[in-house]
Chains A and B, each alone.
Chain A
Amino acid sequence: MADNPQRPLATSRPLSPHMTIYRWPVTMMTSITHRLTGVGLSVGAVILAWWLVCISNGPEGWQSFHAVADTPVGLVVLFGLTWSLVYHFLNGIRHLAWDLGYGFDKQVAERNSMIIFALSIIGALAVFAAAWTGHGGYLQ
């Protein structure tokens, strides 16, 4: 023992949380998801610019956008952006509530995290369900 100063004196002492074996609390998941959806929506902003330019280019532009957007990959990206927007919107409102001092209680924060995850998935599915069942396109 004396020849190895790095060896711990007692193995039963508490260790700091190592990230690889640390059980992630749901509030940690909502925090990193907020950041990831934010970065994803940054890419979405560039897609929005492309969409607006396509529309300003008339019929050929519209078709050039849909040639990409209507593919399976395009739809997956659009669904990802829809879910990201719903999630970032809902969790962003929670951030504003936190700024006002509400919702910091441990049990409340964990419950709200689950509610936001569930509502964001339901919301994104509802948007796509509405589009596929012909409830979109009401501005025609």
Chain B
Amino acid sequence: MSTAQTPLHKVQGMGSSHSGTGHFWHERVTAVALIPLSLWFSYVMLGLVGTSEVTALQVLAHPWNALLMGAFVCFTLWHTYLGLQVVVDDYIDTAGAKIFLLLLIRFSVIATGATCLFAIVRIAAL
């Protein structure tokens, strides 16, 4: 055997990057989904300016709005994770710091998403 690569690694043709175009593609898919969702989000946010918590509760408790806010949060945080990962990949050179930061970002994104979804469900159930 003249190479350290396993036959599987060789046939996948991914080299030292360890992955293919998955990251690029997910970033694009979430970006496309966020075009209509961001427009809807902006419409709702401007529509709630200067109103009361009663209005905000009623609007966000509506099933369609609760679903759309849930979708907006999920796609936004998924896109956020992919974007911040690129920033870390570009600027952090040491493996230890890179793994630490990527894990920190991943946990933060999941915690933020879980908090948002819990609040959305709680609002809808109020």
- A contact set with B: CB distance below 8 Å: 35, 38-39, 41-42, 45-46, 48-49, 52-53, 55-56, 58-59, 61-63, 85, 89, 92-93, 95-96, 99, 127, 130-131, 134-140
Among candidates B35, B50, B55, B60, residue contacting A131 with C-beta atoms closer than 8 Å: B50
Among candidates B44, B48, B57, B112, residue contacting A49 with C-beta atoms closer than 8 Å: B112
Produce 1/0 per residue, B68-110, CB < 8 A to A: 0100010011001001100100000000000000000000100
Known: A45-B112, A55-B119. A136 touches B49 (CB 8 A): yes
CA distance A49 to B72 in the complex (A): 12
CA distance A62 to B52 in the complex (A): 8
Among candidates A56, A96, A134, residue contacting B28 with C-beta atoms closer than 8 Å: A96
**B46 CB contacts on chain A under 8 angstroms:** 127, 130-131, 135-136, 138
Let me know if A35 and B49 touch, CB within 8 A.
no
The interface residues of chain A, by DSSP majority, are classed as helix
Among candidates A38, A41, A56, A85, residue contacting B126 with C-beta atoms closer than 8 Å: A56
How close is A38's CB to chain B, nearest CB, in angstroms?
Answer: 5
Let me know if B51 and A46 touch, CB within 8 A.
no
Known: A45-B77, A56-B122, A85-B38. A39 touches B84 (CB 8 A): yes
CA distance A38 to B73 in the complex (A): 15
CA distance A82 to B112 in the complex (A): 20
**B49 CB contacts on chain A under 8 angstroms:** 131, 136-137
Assess whether B32 is interfacial by the CB under 8 Å rule. yes
**A135 CB contacts on chain B under 8 angstroms:** 46
